[in-house]
Structure 1
Amino acid sequence: MIEDIVRPTLPADATENWREWHPDGDGRFLDLLGVIRTKCLSTDSACVRFTPEPMHANRGGLAHGGYLMSCVDEALFHSAAALELTAAKGSGVTVSANVNFIGAASIDAPIDAITRIVGETGRMFFISGHMEQEGRRIASFEGILRKLKNAGVN
């Protein structure tokens, strides 16, 4: 059963200021995505910004689809954390992520993932959204995250 989500009161500057997540530089996969910026748009919506680099390009010089799919996966987690949902502060795993590409993305401008938390159960978050670049929609997506009680496998 999907329950109504109890939304925290957002900090006064949450919709004005970007928060930044910097890679640890410890050689893990997330280091490849670079700095990730998040900003609350409302109590159930967030923007997660990615800045592609030349290493994220495909042979045609556009953003690689695998890069964009990795951004979607991270956007699911970062949006829940940006909205300060308590359960998102722990660890979790992606159960499902569906991406529909609508258009190509350049590596020369930031890519924004606009997300909305559409539901929550005791163990899951349900999130939908789209990606855009310079006002042009490039993908739509939806995903399900499973909350884990700790960093181990549950």
Structure 2
Amino acid sequence: MHEHFVDAELPGEPGWRSWDAVDRTRFNALLGSIAYRVEGEGPARRARVRMHPERRHSNLRESVHGGAILAFIDVALFAGARAFGLLEAGTAVTLGLDTQFIGGGTIGEPLDAEVELLRETGRLLFLRGLVVQGETKVAAFSGTVRKPTLR
């Protein structure tokens, strides 16, 4: 456990870990429980980050609200970096996030972000990926994260 997040194996879900905010009054808790796992090896390695959209994540069309998807993508950048062993929870920040919406997300079905590390420098992580529900592509994204400053 880190002081801000609980990172633990998910019982009955081999390979999956939970990554949940300790302080349920923080923004991350709005998304509900987040889970992640690493898939593949070498250059094909990806982190799969999962949320479970509920009614509170819906828009008036009964689809997943675009703002909820954007928030999920932002959190997925950090959970993915965590899955790769590159970040602890803390003071890293998103410097840029580019998103293209491709389709709608369905409430009640797991929403996954497939996160790929493109490059790591001394201070930055460059990531990209897709948000999917099963075979349906919901959004594509790329983001840059600045690692925490060591003090």
Q: CA RMSD in A?
A: 1.5
1:68 aligns to what? 69
- Contact persistence 2:19–2:79 (CA under 8 A): no
Distance of 2:138 and 2:34 partners within structure 1:
18
Q: Which has the higher contact order (CA 8 A, sep 6+)?
A: 1
- Contact persistence 1:23–1:34 (CA under 8 A): no
Q: Give the gaps of 5 or more residues in structure 2.
A: 1-13
Distance of 2:23 and 2:149 partners within structure 1:
26
Q: Give the gaps of 5 or more residues in structure 1.
A: 1-15
Distance of 2:55 and 2:79 partners within structure 1:
23
- Contact persistence 1:99–1:142 (CA under 8 A): yes
TM-score (norm 1): 0.82
- 1:93-132 → structure 2 map (5 Å cutoff): 93-132=93-132
Query: Is the strand fraction higher in 1 or 2?
Result: 2
How many percent identity over aligned positions? 36
Q: CA deviation at 1:25?
A: 4.1
TM-score (norm 2): 0.83
1:30 aligns to what? 28
Q: Which amino acid aligns with 2:28?
A: L
